[in-house]
Amino acid sequence: MAPADLLSKNYASWGRYPVACPAAVERLAWRDALPDLGASERPVLAYGQGRSYGDACLNSGGVLLDTDGLDRLIAFDRVTGRVRAEAGVTLAKLLDVLVPAGWFLPVTPGTKFVSLGGAIANDVHGKNHHIAGTFGRFVTAMELVRSDGQRLLLTPSGEHDDLFRATIGGLGLTGLITWAEFQAIPIPSDQIAVTRTRFRSLPEFLALAGAAADQPYTVAWIDALSPAGRGLFMQGHHAPGGLPAPSRFRQKLAAPFDVPSGTLNALTVRAFNAVYYHAQRRDVARSQTHYEPFFYPLDAVGNWNRIYGRRGFLQYQCVVPFADGVAVTEALLAAISAAGAASFLAVLKTFGDVPSPGLLSFPRPGITLALDLPHRGPETLALVRRLNAIAIEAGGALYPAKDAVMSPAQFRASYPDWEAFGAHVDPKFSSSFWRRVTASES
- For 255-268, the pLDDT digits (tens) are 555 555 556 666 77
118 pLDDT above the threshold of 60: yes
Report the amino acid identity of residue 165. Answer: R
Q: Residue 244: which pLDDT band, with cuts at 50, 70 and 90?
A: low
Distance between CA 188 and CA 104 in Å, rounded?
10
Q: What is the pTM of this model?
A: 0.92
Cβ–Cβ under 8 Å, residues 15 and 305: yes
Distance between CA 28 and CA 148 in Å, rounded?
18
How many residues does this entry show for the chain? 442
Strand, helix or coil at 424? coil
- For 145-195, the pLDDT digits (tens) are 999 999 999 999 999 999 999 999 999 999 999 999 999 999 999 999 999
Share of the chain above pLDDT 70, in %: 91
Neighbours of 290 (CB within 10 A): 17
Q: Residue 99: which pLDDT band, with cuts at 50, 70 and 90?
A: very high
Mean pLDDT of the chain: 91
pLDDT of residue 245: 53
Neighbours of 133 (CB within 10 A): 24
CA distances from 285 to 166, 213, 233, 296 (A): 43, 19, 10, 20
428 pLDDT above the threshold of 80: yes
Q: Residue 52: which pLDDT band, with cuts at 50, 70 and 90?
A: very high
Q: Residue 1: which pLDDT band, with cuts at 50, 70 and 90?
A: very low
Q: Residue 275: which pLDDT band, with cuts at 50, 70 and 90?
A: confident
248 pLDDT above the threshold of 70: no
pLDDT of residue 259: 57
Distance between CA 60 and CA 183 in Å, rounded?
35
- For 305-345, the pLDDT digits (tens) are 887 878 888 999 999 999 999 999 999 999 988 888 767 78
Least confident segment among 32-41, 226-235, 344-353, 389-398 = 226-235
